[in-house]
Amino acid sequence: MDHARSDGSMRPWSPHLSLSTARGVSPSVAAIEAVLTLGGMPTHLVPWQETSPTPTPGVFEAARTEIAAFWHAREHLDIRKEGVRLLEQTLSTMTESRRPIVLFSGGIDSSLIASTLRDLGRRDTLLVHLSFGAQDPETLAARSVASTLGMELHELRSTGSGVSCLEQPGTVYPIPFGDISTSPTAELMQGVAHLVDGIPTVIIDGTGADGAFGLGAKIATFQRLASAPGWVSSAPGAAYRWGLWRAKGDLEYRGRIARRISEFPVPLALIAQTSLFHVMFRDDHRASLTRDMTNTAVDIADANVYAQAVVTDLMLTCARVFAQKTLGPASRHGLSVVYPFLDSPLAALGIASTKANPNTPPKRWMKDALSTRLSSSLINRRKSGFIDPGGSMLRTAPFRAALEDALSADSALNGIVNAARLRRLVNHSSLSTLPHGHTNLLWSLAFTDRWYRTNCGPNEPQQTARA
């Protein structure tokens, strides 16, 4: 199949946003609520109340056309061959005349990118990995994969407690978002910047593969739960709101999922980062958020819930949360970063293939492509999150100070969050033992507050009035 576009400039899931500083305008409550609930703000929202998104004519139509091409060819399309071909084509174009630097975890996404570059003859490729210690299981796997592929691996060591990304996030990141791995990613990008040393390079980030090719089974599970009688999710969801959120382990997890399913359609329930809305913060704009995001997904992916869920994940979680963690720091250091699973037809292939075969095991074609190079134990290993397993960052004085600022009366979040309840959560808990959704919410509060405080620009007071 032939595709005219090889960049992401005309795709709705393009992560390439420009940093803009708004002055004299008020924070958007709807945008803040979206960040706290979903982790990021969708394309129809912007951080500031008096501004509007830049229109991008033809983007949805182009995406529909790209998806339809794969959909109509589905009966005769070999997903593995097409995926490999598109990835080779994309990486060849993206790395032309520049040294590839792969952000490398040793997982499926970065390993396939590395293996493909090797097949393309790019022996100058450098794999860069951030380690949380000598016994970090991700580091051990990254070393094994790099050795097997015969590629150069450069290891950076995380301090585990660095929160430099909270210093001036409004001058680095185009939009606020909530992801606790922003801090180690900033460390990783700082290390990459020191390695470049004036050599023409391109940084390759594998974000988007999970969203495009890894969601089918999870969507099916959420769809089954959503199709059950209403009380199956509404009863535990209500219990979660009124106190089950204080539980730990499997009971808390089940209540969290039930609340998301009882309050959102499947595509949004799938990507929600917390179920603490109307517990720790307001969500007055949930109805309009749900309506606008659903309309966008339907416009691109029609009525199929699997396609809608993949589109929603690509447009918000992948493009406006995960990719932003590397895009901002790269731009700050004058570096170029690309996303082959977002900036190419690969995303459309993922949408069409998930719609056609939702029960296909996650990333099957990617694992098959690696099977001739790596052992099944490396391919099928369970990955851990990109965060210091000891949780030391959350106990640092700078993070605690940033969190307290977020709960203060002069914060952009004032009137949105329940500061008293959040303080009780922080003061009576060991942050490293809280459920991930709770700690990620605390991080989102601190980061979002700092983003608004530092995005106002020098000599401009923060505006706290909101519409």
What does the pLDDT read at residue 17? Answer: 86
How far is residue 8's CA from residue 348's CA, in Å, rounded to a whole number?
Answer: 11
| 395 Cβ neighbours under 8 A, 6+ residues apart | 161, 431, 432
Per-residue pLDDT averaged across 14-28, rounded? 77
Tell me the pLDDT band of 349, cut-offs 50, 70 and 90. very high
Among the listed residues 315, 326, 346, the one whose alpha carbon sits nearest the alpha carbon of residue 14: 315
Residue 459 half-sphere exposure toward CB, CA atoms < 13 A:
0
Other residues' Cβ atoms within 10 Å of the Cβ of residue 11: 25
Task: Assess whether pLDDT exceeds 80 at residue 265.
Answer: yes
Per-residue pLDDT averaged across 352-374, rounded? 96
Task: Assess whether pLDDT exceeds 90 at residue 6.
Answer: no
Per-residue pLDDT averaged across 94-119, rounded? 97
Per-residue pLDDT averaged across 90-118, rounded? 97
What does the pLDDT read at residue 24? Answer: 53
Mean pLDDT score of the chain:
89
How far is residue 263's CA from residue 181's CA, in Å, rounded to a whole number?
Answer: 27
CB contact at 8 A, 278 and 241: yes
What does the pLDDT read at residue 20? Answer: 64
Tell me the pLDDT band of 463, cut-offs 50, 70 and 90. very low
Element (H, E) at 153: strand 152-157
Task: Assess whether pLDDT exceeds 70 at residue 226.
Answer: yes
The rounded Cα 75 to chain-centroid distance in angstroms is 31
pLDDT over 70 for what percent of the chain? 90
In terms of Cβ atoms closer than 10 Å to its own Cβ (0-12, 13-18, 19+), residue 247 is middle
Residue 13 is classified by DSSP as: T
Task: Assess whether pLDDT exceeds 50 at residue 130.
Answer: yes
Other residues' Cβ atoms within 10 Å of the Cβ of residue 237: 23
Per-residue pLDDT averaged across 339-355, rounded? 96
Tell me the pLDDT band of 459, cut-offs 50, 70 and 90. very low
Report strand pairing: 152-157 vs 126-131: parallel
pTM of the shown model: 0.93
What does the pLDDT read at residue 393? Answer: 75
Among the listed residues 197, 102, 109, the one whose alpha carbon sits nearest the alpha carbon of residue 153: 102
Tell me the pLDDT band of 166, cut-offs 50, 70 and 90. very high
**Which residues on adjacent β-strands are paired with residue 102?**
127, 204
How far is residue 35's CA from residue 385's CA, in Å, rounded to a whole number?
Answer: 20
Write b or e for each residue in 110-137: b if 16 or more Cβ atoms lie within 10 A of its Cβ, otherwise e. bbbbbbbbeebebeebbbbbbbbeeebe
Of 68 and 249, the one with more pLDDT: 68
Per-residue pLDDT averaged across 349-370, rounded? 96
Task: Assess whether pLDDT exceeds 90 at residue 25.
Answer: no
Of 389 and 256, the one with more pLDDT: 256
Per-residue pLDDT averaged across 146-160, rounded? 93
Lowest mean pLDDT, pick from 9-13, 284-288, 331-335, 350-354: 9-13
